[in-house]
Amino acid sequence: MPLFFDMLWLILSILSATAIYVIFKFVDQYKTPLINVIVINYIVAATLGFIINGSFPINDIVQSEWIFPALIIGFFFIVLFFVVGVSSQKAGISITTVASKMSVVIPMVFAIIAYNENVNVLKIFAIALAVLAVAMSVYVKPEKDRKSGFIAMLLPLALFICMGVNNSLLIFSKENYVNSQVSSIFTSTCFGISLIFGVLIVLFRPASLKGFAKGRTWFFGLTLGAVNFGAVYFIFLAMNSGLLANSVTYGVVDVGIVLVTVLIGTLFFREKLSKLNISGIILSVITIILLTIADM
């Protein structure tokens, strides 16, 4: 029975993360205001985080050493979620997923430079392959509507860079401020800060308040918040289960997310991928496996 639950956490982590991209696609199809969905999502994610944590120690949060990096990361969270949403709609969930997963090479390089983390030939080779995989995956052949093609390429590239920078900030916070005792409250606080930024954006755009009156806005927002929190929560459960080493767990989950998302994107959303894009996606899966082996 324990093995069943260990595998279940892995599967739920993959499905939760994949559902994020799928929901953004439905948000576009049903013409639902994106910012409203994202704000509701962070209400749910932050609330679930504090419920799991069992408390909301506002004084400890405000007086903590990590409040400033949490502010920056919380801001990045909502910006990245917005970019993921728009990229899923414009470039497709397959390419968006690859760009987000390959962004792991940026914090890897940061960790090697800043903290002298272990580096070997295989890791260097895999990092170089990751950059190539992203370039191949996001490339769009110029057509008559060059502006749309340019945007479809720019969004995944922006996601790749910004998510990599944000994950580097997470490593910096972990190394300098956040230990295992405060990791859950730190994560919940980042979600809460994202919510505050989201509310401020909506308040500065009064016209967007109308979006909260729509039932589907709340449906997508509540669902997105649940799977967003679940993607983080279930991978922690998977790592704590001890079924696999942490690096292997991340590798299995990332490969699973890429494969399931591409499958859903092509079968259900009829996303068109060029031979170069498909080659890039295959290369990204190989890269994740190599990075996992290099970290073992």
Taking the CA atoms of 16, 21, 26 and 28 in sequence, report the sign of the dihedral they define.
Answer: positive
- How does residue 286 score in pLDDT terms, banded at 50, 70 and 90? very high
Tell me what pLDDT residue 240 has: 74
φ, ψ at 74 (rounded to 5°): -60, -40
Tell me what pLDDT residue 206 has: 84
Helices of type H across the chain: 2-29, 34-53, 58-62, 67-90, 93-102, 105-115, 121-138, 146-176, 183-203, 215-241, 246-267, 275-294
Cα dihedral 51/52/56/57 (nearest 10): 160
Tell me what pLDDT residue 220 has: 97
pLDDT tens string 115-161: 888 888 998 999 999 999 999 998 877 655 566 677 788 999 999 99
For residues 80-96, give the mean pLDDT.
Answer: 93
pLDDT tens string 97-111: 999 999 989 998 998
Token readout for 16 is 């939760």
Is the model's pLDDT at 194 over the cut of 60? yes
Token readout for 173 is 């916070």
- How does residue 179 score in pLDDT terms, banded at 50, 70 and 90? confident
